[in-house]
Structure 1
């Protein structure tokens, strides 16, 4: 008999299964409490469940998590290279602060959008991740945090792949992250980052859970954005911003715009002024990020003078912004970099 991975199911799914087994509905709550609150994934050890139910759970479900292949640690950032059941590798990042633990989740093996500064774009798309593979990343890290008396507080869909291109699995995983019976992480602590699949942004606005939205903008006009983000030719900045403001109006959440600063490409004074015009008076916040160098691309990270000047112009124009320090550069924590390094060491082509 084939088994189903337990981390792919929500409470409603389990209630239906337990009903078919003639089990009382409260047993589902007990079962989920073991999985997501106590971190016990061996049904035999779930002591408040009847033994016949424990045996059935062990037979009917699998409790497999990704395997940790490698870990890199620098400052407050830990990057995990995880291997899935089919041998594919993905990356997950834990960023630790004194009052929160944020994990950066992957949603695909590779990516099809070929952004011209991202290491994942060099891989191409291998496949979408399943719900249990998305949840499994979080549980793998949560298991380590539990040992220290801590827990995941923030989820960011900003790892390998485009979240809105694996929409259904991402939405189902958000339910598990957000629900009281799951991780219990509030919607304002869950962020989806997208390059801008406009129709899906409208879909996301109408979902039950109103998560935060981050848009990878990285350029202030179509001429420059077309050069580094190919999908901009299909969904230009004007359409993208219209969908973003719609999302903000429905959810009452401001939009975060990610802006990676690349030397002499998008970091000049005129670019900062153009960006200010785009966002002035809107519910927007800009994250300024120094680019993590990827040797396959011709770019260089902006120098500190250009970064500070860019920020000063945004400040002067009243644009809310934050300069993000790239803690992961020492461990090649840009998306896809650890995977690329690992495969290269093994003589495997990307």
Structure 2
């Protein structure tokens, strides 16, 4: 009999599992706490559970995390993880530690179907969606690896491999699982989900009562250019995308985040900045400016710091909060847009571990272009 995978099950699902094994449903909550709060991946160490329940769990279920094939350590402290899933697919997850907080960049798909022309992940093509357990498992794994304490601020950004809106249900299931106060207890306000502009996904996301923050990867101020560098714009052009943003139900003190990757001589002119201020006029938002993180396969260059600062000044002058994102992990191909399973980097830390491998199945996509 194939064992049931527990990583990825919600508290409600674990209560149902306990009941199906002849236990009171509250034992499912205890099991949930053991895995996600106490981080116990050995049933015999879950001494809060009755011996019979632990025996049944051992016989009928399993807890599996991704396999760490390699990890790469940047000079700035960033750590890039090359992970292998149970079916052999590989993904990447990035940890960006700081003095008072940790940020984990999480993948939602193996590869990416969106094909942004300035992003190395897009050159890989698309392989499959990740399950809720594979998404949450990345965070749980890094918590184990680095002993991340719940007392420290933990931010999760769903900006790794893949388009989250094309794996909407699994991504949201993982988000709600990780936000559960009985488990990992990551505040929804500390999570950000980024999309290249899947308008139906943005609309559905806005209807959710419990959701993280939203970021839009914009990167151009005309349909002509956005069609070229972000083919998804042909399906949902700027007017439709920005209309969805204007109708998005922001909470008190919440702002939309617009990500804008600057490409030298392509989308970084004074005119581009001026058009951007007009496109975003009246929106409660902020803009993160990102100088292109280079890759040998990309036909673009990174603008000078002076040009990026000039772009920022134009936005700020028009009352739009704009921030220049400091690249993290660029030297180990861990920065925004660089994730492509690259093993050919110089690094001071390369490691392999061998946790149990998951038995996984693909999930369905929504709104595939």
TM range (shorter): over 0.9
Q: Relative to structure 1, is the Cα distance of residues 140 and 291 closer, same or farther in structure 2, using a 3 angstrom cutoff? A: same
Q: Which residue in 2 is equivalent to 1:297?
A: 298
- What SS is found at the alignment partner of 1:260? strand
- The Cα of 1:253 is off from its aligned counterpart by 2.5
How many correspondences in the alignment? 345
**Any idea what the Cα deviations from partners look like across 1:191-243, whole Å, max 9, x if unmatched?**
10000110111111111313100000011121211110001011011111111
Q: Which residue in 1 is equivalent to 2:95?
A: 94
- C-alpha RMSD of the superposition: 1.9
- What SS is found at the alignment partner of 1:143? helix
Maintained 8 Å contact 1:248/1:255: no
The within-5 A match list for 1:90-239 is: 90-146=91-147, 153-239=154-240
- What SS is found at the alignment partner of 1:24? coil
- What SS is found at the alignment partner of 2:329? helix
- What SS is found at the alignment partner of 1:193? strand
Counterpart Cα distance in 2 of 1:111 and 1:129 = 11
Q: Which residue in 1 is equivalent to 2:363?
A: none
- The Cα of 1:38 is off from its aligned counterpart by 1.3
| 5+ residue gaps, structure 1 | 346-350
Higher relative contact order (CA 8 A, sep 6+): 2
Q: Relative to structure 1, is the Cα distance of residues 160 and 152 closer, same or farther in structure 2, using a 3 angstrom cutoff? A: farther
Deviates more, 1:22-31 or 1:87-96: 22-31
Counterpart Cα distance in 1 of 2:45 and 2:153 = 24
Q: Which residue in 2 is equivalent to 1:40?
A: 40
Maintained 8 Å contact 1:5/1:64: yes
Counterpart Cα distance in 1 of 2:179 and 2:322 = 27
Q: Which residue in 2 is equivalent to 1:58?
A: 58
Counterpart Cα distance in 2 of 1:83 and 1:43 = 24
Counterpart Cα distance in 2 of 1:102 and 1:44 = 32
**Any idea what the Cα deviations from partners look like across 1:236-294, whole Å, max 9, x if unmatched?**
11111111122244686311000011100011110011101111231110000111112
Q: Relative to structure 1, is the Cα distance of residues 338 and 171 closer, same or farther in structure 2, using a 3 angstrom cutoff? A: closer
Maintained 8 Å contact 2:21/2:56: no
Counterpart Cα distance in 2 of 1:277 and 1:58 = 60
Maintained 8 Å contact 1:285/1:319: yes
The within-5 A match list for 1:325-340 is: 325-334=326-335, 337=338, 339-340=340-341
- What SS is found at the alignment partner of 2:289? strand
Q: Which residue in 1 is equivalent to 2:25?
A: 25
Counterpart Cα distance in 2 of 1:118 and 1:168 = 24
Q: Relative to structure 1, is the Cα distance of residues 82 and 50 closer, same or farther in structure 2, using a 3 angstrom cutoff? A: same
Q: Relative to structure 1, is the Cα distance of residues 201 and 147 closer, same or farther in structure 2, using a 3 angstrom cutoff? A: closer
- What SS is found at the alignment partner of 2:226? helix
1:275 aligns with 2:280: no
- The Cα of 1:42 is off from its aligned counterpart by 0.6
- The Cα of 1:59 is off from its aligned counterpart by 1.7
Maintained 8 Å contact 1:118/1:334: no
Maintained 8 Å contact 1:120/1:335: no
Counterpart Cα distance in 1 of 2:148 and 2:139 = 14
Q: Relative to structure 1, is the Cα distance of residues 152 and 82 closer, same or farther in structure 2, using a 3 angstrom cutoff? A: farther
Q: Which residue in 2 is equivalent to 1:348?
A: none
Deviates more, 1:143-152 or 1:103-112: 143-152
Counterpart Cα distance in 2 of 1:15 and 1:183 = 17
Greater helix proportion: 1
